[in-house]
Structure 1
Amino acid sequence: MDAAVVLWATVGALIARFGVPETERLSVSGQPYVAVSLVLAAGWWAMLSLRGSREPTVLGHGTEEYKRVVSASLILFGLVAIVSYALQLDTARGYVGVALPAGLTMLLLARMIVRCLLHIERMHGKSSLHVLVVGSTSGVRHLADSLRAHPMAGYIPAGAYLPGVEIDANTTDGLDLPIVGRAIEADEIIADIRLFGPDAVALSSSMQLAPETIRALGWALADLNIRLIMAPALTDVAGPRIHTQPVAGLPLIHVSTPNLEKGQRLVKRTTDIFGAGLLIVALSPLLALIATLVRVDSQGPVLFRQERVGTAGQNFEMFKFRSMELNAEARLELLREQHEGNDVLFKLKNDPRVTTVGRVLRKFSLDELPQLFNVLGGSMSLVGPRPPLAAEVERYDIRAHRRLLVRPGMTGLWQVSGRSLLSWDETVRLDLYYVENWSFLSDLAILLRTFKAVVSRHGAF
Structure 2
Amino acid sequence: MTTVENARIAALRSSFVATPVAAPTIVAPATRAIASPVTTAALERRQRWERYYRMRLVWTDLVIVLASAGLAAWIQIDTIAQVDLTDAPWQYGRVFLVTAAIWLLLLALFQSRSSRVMGQGMTEYKRVLHATGLAFGILAIGFVLMQSQGIRSQLLIAMPVGIVGLVLSRWLWRRWLQRQRVAGLYVSRAMVVGNRHDVEYVLSSLQADGRMAYHVVGITLDTGEDSEIVVGGEHYRAYGDLRSIASQATALGADAIILASTPDEDRGFIKRLSWQLEGTAAELVLSSPLVDVAGPRMSLRPMEGLPLIQVEIPTFEGGRHLTKRAFDVALSSIALLFIGLATPFIALAIKLDSRGPVFFRQRRVGRDGVEFFMLKFRSMHVDAEQQLEKLKQQNEGSGPLFKLKSDPRVTRVGAFLRKYSLDELPQFWNVFAGDMSIVGPRPPLLAETKEYGTSTYRRLYIKPGITGPWQVSGRSHLSWEESVRLDLRYVENWSVVGDFRLVWRTVGSVLKADGAY
- Are positions 1:377 and 2:444 aligned together? no
- Are positions 1:63 and 2:122 aligned together? yes
Aligned position for 1:452:
508
Change (3 A) 1:153 1:437: farther
* Counterparts of 2:455 and 2:87, CA distance in 1: 64
* Counterparts of 2:426 and 2:225, CA distance in 1: 59
Question: Secondary structure at the residue paired with 2:344?
Answer: helix
For each residue in 1:64-108, what CA deviation from the matched residue of structure 2 results, as whole angstroms up to 9, or x when unmatched? 211111111111111112222344434431232110001110111
- Are positions 1:162 and 2:218 aligned together? no
* Counterparts of 2:249 and 2:448, CA distance in 1: 50
Partner residue of 1:279 out of 322, 330, 335: 335
Aligned position for 1:33:
92
Q: Which amino acid aligns with 1:38?
A: L
* Counterparts of 1:361 and 1:172, CA distance in 2: 44
Tell me, yes or no, if the aligned pair for 1:132 and 1:160 is still in contact at 8 Å.
Answer: yes
Aligned position for 1:192:
248
Aligned position for 2:495:
439
Tell me, yes or no, if the aligned pair for 1:241 and 1:255 is still in contact at 8 Å.
Answer: yes
Shift of 1:49: 2.0
Shift of 1:338: 1.9
Tell me, yes or no, if the aligned pair for 1:340 and 1:346 is still in contact at 8 Å.
Answer: yes
Q: Which amino acid aligns with 2:436?
A: M
Partner residue of 1:140 out of 195, 199, 203: 199
Shift of 1:31: 5.8
Question: Secondary structure at the residue paired with 1:273?
Answer: helix
* Counterparts of 1:36 and 1:91, CA distance in 2: 6
- 341-350 or 102-111: which moved more? 341-350
Shift of 1:209: 6.4
Q: How do residues 344-355 of structure 1 correspond to structure 2 at under 5 angstroms? A: 344-355=400-411
In structure 2, the gaps of 5 or more residues are 1-59
- Are positions 1:95 and 2:154 aligned together? yes
Tell me, yes or no, if the aligned pair for 2:397 and 2:404 is still in contact at 8 Å.
Answer: yes
- 174-183 or 266-275: which moved more? 174-183
Aligned position for 2:424:
368
Q: How do residues 223-372 of structure 1 correspond to structure 2 at under 5 angstroms? A: 223-372=279-428
* Counterparts of 2:305 and 2:137, CA distance in 1: 36
Tell me, yes or no, if the aligned pair for 1:311 and 1:406 is still in contact at 8 Å.
Answer: yes
Change (3 A) 1:77 1:25: farther
Tell me, yes or no, if the aligned pair for 1:24 and 1:32 is still in contact at 8 Å.
Answer: no
Aligned position for 2:144:
85
- Are positions 1:9 and 2:68 aligned together? yes
Tell me, yes or no, if the aligned pair for 1:24 and 1:33 is still in contact at 8 Å.
Answer: no
Change (3 A) 1:289 1:151: closer
Q: Which amino acid aligns with 1:228?
A: L
Shift of 1:431: 0.8
Question: Secondary structure at the residue paired with 1:157?
Answer: strand
Q: What TM-score, normalized by structure 1, do the two folds share?
A: 0.93
Question: Secondary structure at the residue paired with 1:387?
Answer: coil
For each residue in 1:409-450, what CA deviation from the matched residue of structure 2 results, as whole angstroms up to 9, or x when unmatched? 111111111110111111111111111111111111111111
Question: Secondary structure at the residue paired with 1:201?
Answer: strand
* Counterparts of 1:216 and 1:176, CA distance in 2: 29
- Are positions 1:420 and 2:479 aligned together? no
Tell me, yes or no, if the aligned pair for 1:323 and 1:362 is still in contact at 8 Å.
Answer: yes
Shift of 1:207: 4.4
Shift of 1:132: 1.0
Change (3 A) 1:127 1:57: same
Tell me, yes or no, if the aligned pair for 1:123 and 1:151 is still in contact at 8 Å.
Answer: no
In structure 1, the gaps of 5 or more residues are none
Tell me, yes or no, if the aligned pair for 2:189 and 2:256 is still in contact at 8 Å.
Answer: yes
- Say what the alpha-carbon RMSD is for the aligned residues: 2.2
* Counterparts of 2:86 and 2:430, CA distance in 1: 55
* Counterparts of 2:376 and 2:442, CA distance in 1: 14
Bigger radius of gyration: 2
Change (3 A) 1:146 1:379: same
Question: Secondary structure at the residue paired with 2:120?
Answer: coil
Question: Secondary structure at the residue paired with 2:268?
Answer: helix
Shift of 1:297: 2.2
- 334-343 or 365-374: which moved more? 334-343
Question: Secondary structure at the residue paired with 2:278?
Answer: helix
* Counterparts of 2:195 and 2:154, CA distance in 1: 59
For each residue in 1:102-145, what CA deviation from the matched residue of structure 2 results, as whole angstroms up to 9, or x when unmatched? 11101111111111110110111210101111111111111122
* Counterparts of 1:151 and 1:265, CA distance in 2: 31
Question: Secondary structure at the residue paired with 1:134?
Answer: strand
Partner residue of 1:128 out of 180, 184, 187: 187
- Are positions 1:54 and 2:107 aligned together? no
For each residue in 1:39-61, what CA deviation from the matched residue of structure 2 results, as whole angstroms up to 9, or x when unmatched? 32232222222212111221221
- Are positions 1:400 and 2:456 aligned together? yes
* Counterparts of 1:122 and 1:207, CA distance in 2: 33
Change (3 A) 1:293 1:83: same
Q: Give the number of aligned pairs.
A: 453
Change (3 A) 1:3 1:299: same
* Counterparts of 2:452 and 2:441, CA distance in 1: 14
